[in-house]
Amino acid sequence: MTPSTSAAATLGPDRRYSYAAVLGAVAVGLLAPGVATWLLAPVLLGGMVVLGVAHGACDQFVVPATHPTLVRSRSRYWAGFLVGYLGLAAAVGLLWWWQPAAAVALFFGLTAWHWGSGDAPTQARHRSQWLAHSLLRGTLLFAVPLWHWPTETLDIVRGLLALAGAANLPTTPGLLGIGLLPAVLAGLLLLWLSYYWQQQGQLARTDALETGLLLVLLVVLPPVLAAGVYFVFWHSLQHVLRMNQLMDRNPTAPRRSLWAEIRFFLRRSAPLLLISLAGLVVVFGLAWTRTASGPVLVSLALLAASVVTLPHALLVTLGMDAAQWKSRH
């Protein structure tokens, strides 16, 4: 790890911005549940562009920042990056065509891991704690909607399966959906106790606070809105702040304001962000001309996201999170 990445990992991004966004969305859901979708949708659409789509548009900078010895030749690196990134994306696309049910399972499983590990605390002393937190936090984000909003959650999965032409799901989540949440909560409780055992009480309290915030968000808002708020204003925003620390050549400088952080990131993500947005405009434009319904558009968005989730998640796990699983107890 380079000095800049070490300093960045020690400092860590400011998570209070995400806390505030979640609390604001929860307030809307509690005070105006009947119009929550109309109030939150414009904010989510804007955030999806500025943060959601953009947060993966700086993936090309992960390897240079975390493993600079692999980028001795700039042209060779870019060729390898494009071939590898697009090759993995194409492989996922072929899986959707060949085995759509497996592609759906891979997408949700990989998303759970990526959200859990990418947003895991960097202060955990042991690799086993980081791994446990990654799996439990990621599973929590899917277990709560499956338990509290079973019909709406399964409808999202059914929409993806229908779009890909795969077999449908049962009408109920079954024993797995019912027992998954208690198992995850029990696992988190044991994890927090292990933090206290390692004299990391502050980490345990912070993680319990975050778990409480996410539980409230996932219970108050229906799955599409809750997942949108989390993806845009928690996962994507925190990734942007982490990437800024990696890309910044002066990591000891005072923190910038949130808007300055976003501008810093958007300037570097602009080329790939514009290409991604152009592709999405074409896909959704074609769907719009065929009078696609709201659920179909949501399914299209998830399918498009799934194609790049694999290469993006690998870069985060193998690059940005390398210090979490390498050379640890």
235 is in an annotated binding site: yes
- The pLDDT tens digits of the residues spanning 64-110 come to 999 888 888 888 999 999 999 999 999 999 999 999 989 999 999 99
Low-confidence ranges of the chain (pLDDT < 50): 1-11
Pick from 168, 233, 238: nearest CA to 8: 238
Q: Is 312 annotated as a binding residue?
A: no
Greatest Cα pair distance in the chain: 59
Map tokens 């697009």 to a residue: 86
State pLDDT tens for residues 160-188: 888 887 777 665 666 666 789 999 999 99
Can you tell me the distance from the alpha carbon of 74 to that of 260, in angstroms, rounded to the nearest whole number?
Answer: 28
Is 55 annotated among the ligand-binding residues? yes
Give 54-118 as a 3 state SS string. Answer: HHHCCHHHHHHHHCHHHCCCHHHHHHHHHHHHHHHHHHHHHHHHHCHHHHHHHHHHHHHHHHHHH
For the chain, the structural domain boundaries read: 3-122+221-325
Which pLDDT does position 5 carry in this prediction?
Answer: 42
pLDDT for the residue 8: 38
Dump the DSSP string for 5-27.
HHHHHHH---THHHHHHHHHHHH
Q: For position 294, what pLDDT does the model report?
A: 72
67 is in an annotated binding site: no
